[in-house]
Amino acid sequence: MSSVTAALKVREDARTVQRSMVWPRHGVVERATQNDLQLQGGAYACFVGLQPANRQNNRYGNVIAYDRTRVIPPGFPEGHYLNANWVRERFGGKWHIATQAPLPATIHSFLSLFLNPVAPPDKFTGGETVAPQTLRTIVQLAQNVERRVTKGSPYFPAEVGQSMTWTPQPESDDITLPPIIIELVATEQEDCWQHSTLRIAYVDKPKEGRLVRHLLFQVSTHLHLQSLTVLRRRHRAGQITACLRTSVATSAS
């Protein structure tokens, strides 16, 4: 068994144990403390994302954000849950954020990442201080609907000049952030990407909005290699230097 395969097996075994400890079985919810789960899961503990109040914020029941590298959107309390993790390149050392395509209830949290500089906490970096950066690119790796299965929820309009407004998810968090407005500024079709320019701002600070690029990955088989080549070229050129997990990858400048 290769070292990569062995590491993946350890991860999946840990996730299976945690799900069996928290998820209902035969109508009974087992009681598991955070310490129990962290001991069982180690680096792959996902106690927060498996809590009853947070399960609805996971698009897939078997893809949960890990506690150790979980992303807390700026302005939200420590206990706020978004299915997103910090990831570091093995070669190059650049930090990325990997996230699921946001659900309607988590779109405001997701968009908040683009309105404030973000950086992984020192506890994730081994004591190394990483300067906060402003996210400016979204790389979407799946269509919103594939084979009649919903993979993503639209969070910006389809027509140039139109806008959509998103409010914070109603929950127990003491969130006082204003709604976020997102406008489609421009869009163009490339050989392997649909390239859109978005303007994102808090509704009470429209002049402080930020422009964000959205690159929709084309899933046609004959375009896969070309799409990945373009992504890699832009990454090396510094146009994409950090990426957010599942269906959406978000990039920092």
Q: Alpha carbon of 229 to those of 53, 163, 196: distances in Å? A: 40, 32, 19
- Strand order in 84-88's β-sheet? 84-88, 95-99, 248-252, 135-140, 210-217, 193-202, 180-189, 163-166
Find the distance separating the first CA and the last CA of the chain, reported in whole Å. 38
pLDDT-based confidence at 115, cuts 50/70/90? very high
Over residues 37-56, the pLDDT tens digits come to 444 446 678 888 988 889 99
- CB distance 5 to 24 below 8 Å: no
Residues across the chain: 253
Q: What is the chain's alpha carbon radius of gyration, rounded to the nearest angstrom?
A: 19
Fold of 73-252: Protein-Tyrosine Phosphatase; Chain A (3.90.190)
Cα gap 239→170, rounded to integer Å: 35
Cα gap 113→70, rounded to integer Å: 13
Q: How would you classify the pairing of strands 210-217 and 135-140?
A: parallel
pLDDT-based confidence at 226, cuts 50/70/90? low
**What amino acid occupies position 78?**
E
pLDDT-based confidence at 157, cuts 50/70/90? very high
Q: Which residue has the higher pLDDT, 225 or 125?
A: 125
Cα gap 142→129, rounded to integer Å: 33
Give the pair of three-digit tokens for residue 54. Answer: 């947070």
pLDDT-based confidence at 160, cuts 50/70/90? very high
Cα gap 185→229, rounded to integer Å: 26
Q: What per-residue confidence (pLDDT) applies to 247?
A: 42
- CB distance 51 to 32 below 8 Å: no
Residues whose CB falls within 8 Å of the CB of residue 39, separated by 6 or more in sequence, listed in order: none
Q: Return the HEC string of 52-87.
A: CCCHHHCCCCCCCCCCCCECCCCCCCCCCCCCEEEE
Paired strand residues for 87: 96
pLDDT-based confidence at 27, cuts 50/70/90? very low
